[in-house]
């Protein structure tokens, strides 16, 4: 199987600060990476799709200026939550996908708590 890592696994930050989450595909080149958010006892909500070297495509209702996504290489994408508020507290999960494939391989997730 494919291995995707996320860092940090857990982060606590104060309101108004920014937090960066990294997602790395460790054993394959990911032309596309996805960022999801999961609310308690809910399904995964796709936030945005990022292709290496181009701007991310955001889903309806997701603020692009608040959730900055960068996919600078075929193995790394980052999500920066800017000016975090308590309502941004959630479980954020990334996934990586090979070119032309349907399967996505997920990272272990990052638990963000904004105080």
Partner 1 sequence: DQQVKQNSPSLSVQEGRISILNCDYTNSMFDYFLWYKKYPAEGPTFLISISSIKDKNEDGRFTVFLNKSAKHLSLHIVPSQPGDSAVYFCAVSYGGATNKLIFGTGTLLAVQP
Residue 55 within binding range of partner 1, rule CB under 8 A:
no
Site for partner 1 in 62-91 (CB under 8 A): 91
Could you give the CA distance from residue 21 to residue 6 in angstroms, rounded to a whole number?
A: 7
Let me know if 63 is exposed, middle or buried by CB neighbors in 10 A (0-12, 13-18, 19+). Answer: exposed
Instruction: Tell whether residue 107 is a contact of partner 1 (CB under 8 A).
Output: yes
Of the candidates 32, 75, 77, 78, which one interacts with partner 1 according to CB under 8 A?
Answer: 32
| All residues at 6 or more sequence positions from 22 whose CB lies less than 8 Å from its CB, including other chains | 6, 7, 76, 77, 78
* Position among 25, 75, 77, 95 found at the interface with partner 1 (CB under 8 A): 95
Q: How far apart are CA 106 and CA 61, in angstroms?
A: 23
Interface region with partner 1, contact rule CB under 8 A, candidates 11-19, 43-51, 60-68, 74-82: 43-51
Minimum CB–partner distance for residue 66 and partner 1 (Å) = 21
Count, residues in the chain: 115
Which residues contribute to the site for partner 1 (CB under 8 A)? 1, 4, 6, 32, 34, 42-44, 46, 49, 51, 57, 91, 93-95, 97, 101-109, 111
């Amino acid at each position: 199987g494919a291995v995707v890592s996320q860092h940090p696994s857990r982060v606590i930050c104060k309101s108004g600060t920014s937090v960066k989450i990294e997602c790395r595909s460790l054993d394959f080149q990911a032309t596309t990476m996805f960022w999801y958010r999961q609310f308690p006892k809910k399904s995964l909500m796709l936030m945005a799709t990022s292709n290496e070297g181009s701007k991310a495509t955001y889903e309806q209702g997701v603020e692009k200026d608040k959730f900055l996504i960068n996919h600078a290489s075929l193995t790394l994408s980052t999500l920066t939550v800017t000016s975090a508020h308590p309502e941004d507290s959630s479980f954020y999960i990334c996934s990586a996908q090979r070119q032309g494939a349907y399967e996505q391989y997920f990272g272990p997730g990052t638990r963000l708590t904004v105080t």
